[in-house]
């Protein structure tokens, strides 16, 4: 989407806040003993209350209103009867269509105290996204995002997953520009005013690739490795980034 009119910007902000409220409601209910299906039901209810339609269901017939991935699962985890435990790492990813405008956000975090390395990788990928957001401005190279993310990954010793990318959003769930947020000197595309896109790197402790599980949806790193994601939807402006999922 190219969100240049007041109506388009307002529509994206409404969609972003609907997704944010669903995400926050799910996080508030995330605790040991809860199943991922129960969390998904919370997200589905909050989306419906706002007139929002789950984007994974709308565009891909995904078997859940939201994506919930646990431990070595990176993305597209199917909500189900899995019972969450203290020390699990969970990723909640919520995207929805609200009256024709689509926003997308996600975050990995630890249930309970967890291990220091779990907390560190989650904090690192969050820092990378916020650093990248500060670099966004119309006219700049799209690669300012990748450079900002790469700097944090290199400093902290993490791999950036290469086959899970960030993407344009707004009219649909996945649009151009499709890109992986790592430092790519060959990237020639520019950030343009009104461009709506996500920034969503995945950091791992040992691999640049995820593999699809037998369920046909879940994407995972090898068992025993850690993986964490952080994601916002934003609109590119002449002054910087307008983040609609804050």
Condensed to tens digits (0 to 9), the pLDDT of residues 90-149 reads: 999 999 999 999 999 999 999 999 999 999 999 999 999 999 999 999 999 999 999 999
Predicted confidence band of residue 209 (pLDDT cuts 50, 70, 90)? very high
Q: What is the spatial distance between Cα 15 and Cα 228, in angstroms, rounded to a whole number?
A: 24
Mean pLDDT confidence for 63-89: 98
Domain ranges across the chain: 6-243
3-state SS of the chain is CECCCHHHHHHHHHHHHHHHHHHHHHHHCCCCCCEHHHHHHHHHHHHHHCCEEEHHHHHHCCCCCCEEEECCEEECCCCCCCECCCCCEEEEEEEEEECCEEEEEEEEEECCCCCHHHHHHHHHHHHHHHHHHHHCCCCCECHHHHHHHHHHHHHHCCEECCCCCEEECCCCCCEEEEECCCCCCCCCCECCCCEEEEECCEEECCCCCCEECCCCCCEECCCCCCEEEEEEEEEECCCCEEECCC
In whole angstroms, what is the distance from residue 30 CA to residue 110 CA?
10
Q: What would be the CATH architecture of the domain defined by 6-243?
A: Alpha-Beta Complex (3.90)
Report yes or no on whether pTM surpasses 0.85: yes
For the stretch 217-242, pLDDT in tens is: 999 999 999 999 999 999 999 999 99
**Residue given tokens 């009119």 in the structure block:** 5
- Tens-place pLDDT, residues 150-193: 999 999 999 999 999 999 999 999 999 999 999 999 999 999 99
pLDDT above 90: percentage of residues in the chain: 99
Task: Count how many Cα atoms sit within 13 Å of the Cα of residue 140 in the half-sphere of its side chain.
Answer: 19
pLDDT the model gives residue 22 = 98
Query: Which residue from 81, 85, 83, 68 is spatially nearest to 22, judged by alpha carbons?
Result: 68
Output the pLDDT for position 132.
Answer: 98
Q: What is the largest CA-CA distance in the chain?
A: 48
Find tokens 């947020």 and name the residue: 181
Q: Provide the β-strand partners of residue 159.
A: 204
């Amino acid at each position: 989407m190219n969100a240049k009119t007041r109506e388009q910007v307002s529509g994206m902000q409404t969609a972003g806040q609907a997704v944010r409220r669903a995400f926050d409601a799910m996080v508030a209910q995330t605790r040991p003993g809860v199943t991922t299906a129960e969390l998904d039901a919370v997200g589905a209810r909050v989306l419906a209350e706002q007139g929002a339609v789950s984007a994974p269901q709308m565009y891909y017939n995904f078997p859940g209103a939201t994506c919930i991935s646990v431990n070595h699962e990176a993305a597209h985890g199917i909500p189900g009867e899995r019972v969450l435990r203290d020390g699990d790492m969970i990723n909640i990813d919520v995207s929805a269509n609200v009256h024709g405008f689509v926003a997308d956000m996600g975050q990995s975090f630890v249930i309970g105290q967890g291990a220091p390395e779990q907390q560190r990788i989650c904090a690192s990928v969050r820092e990378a996204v916020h650093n990248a957001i500060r670099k966004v401005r119309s006219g700049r190279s799209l690669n300012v995002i990748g450079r900002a993310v790469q700097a944090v990954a290199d400093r902290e010793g993490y791999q950036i997953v290469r086959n899970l990318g960030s993407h344009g959003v707004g009219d649909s769930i996945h649009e151009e520009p499709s890109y992986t947020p790592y430092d790519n000197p060959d990237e020639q595309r520019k950030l343009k005013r009104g461009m709506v896109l996500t920034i969503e790197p995945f950091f791992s402790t040992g691999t640049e690739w995820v593999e699809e599980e037998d369920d046909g949806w879940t994407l995972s790193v090898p068992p025993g490795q850690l993986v964490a994601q952080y994601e916002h939807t934003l609109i590119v402006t002449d002054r910087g980034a307008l983040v609609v999922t804050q």
